Amino acid sequence: MTSIAALVALGPLRMGATGPAVTAVQLALRNAGYDLEADGGFGTITQTALKAFEASHGLQPDGVVDKPTATELDKIAPPPSVLKVAPWLSTMRAITGTKEAPSSKDNPFIIEMAHEIVRRYPDLKGNVGWYNHDSIPWCGLGIGYVFAVNGIKPASAPLSQRSRGRLGASA
C-alpha cells in the first residue's frame, strides 16, 4: 500500500481535494478513531477530524495534509483482519452454498457436520448425534459446525429453534 506521505509528495491535500489520496487519509483517520466516511472527498467533516488529529499529535492544526501530517497519519496501524477477530466468518463463507442432496440421498458433508460437532463436544451427542438426513432442517447444525471447528462450543441443542438466543461459549 502506498504511504500517505508518498501520495502528498507533489503537494498537500486540503479542503476540496478528491481522489484516492483523500480516501487514504480518511481511512487512516477512521483507524485512529475519528468518525467519518471514506468517500474520497475532502470536506468539512474530513477537515474537522484532521484538525483534531493534528492537534492531538503536536502538529499545526490547520486541516491540511502536508508532509509532517502525512508522516503521522502513516504511523496509524490498520485495523486487524476480520479473520483474526472472527475466524468463524471464513468457515461460514466456505460452507455457504452447501445444498441438500436430491431425493433420498444425503449430502455427506451435511451429515459429517453433526459428526464433527460430536467429535469435538461429546456432551452434545444426544442433541446432535441423531442427525442423519439432510431433509431435516440443518441451518442450526451449520452454525453449530462453524462454531465447533473454530473452538467455540455450540448451543446445547443447535438443532432446536429455542437455542438460537443462547449462542456458544468459549471452549
Q: Does 101 share its domain with 54?
A: no
- Residue 121: count of CB within 10 angstroms of its CB: 20
Q: Does 131 share its domain with 149?
A: yes
Which residues, listed in sequence order, are joined to residue 152 by a DSSP beta bridge? Answer: 170
DSSP state, 152? E
Domains identified in the chain, total number: 2
Q: Does 60 share its domain with 93?
A: no
Q: Does 101 share its domain with 63?
A: no
DSSP state, 161? G
Q: Does 62 share its domain with 89?
A: no
Longest dimension (CA), the chain: 72
What are φ and ψ of residue 110, in 5° steps? -65, -45
Tens digit of each residue's pLDDT (9 = 90 or more) over 58-111: 999 999 999 999 999 999 988 888 777 788 888 999 999 999 988 889 999 999
| Domain extent at residue 28 | 4-74
Mean pLDDT of the chain: 90
Q: Does 18 share its domain with 67?
A: yes
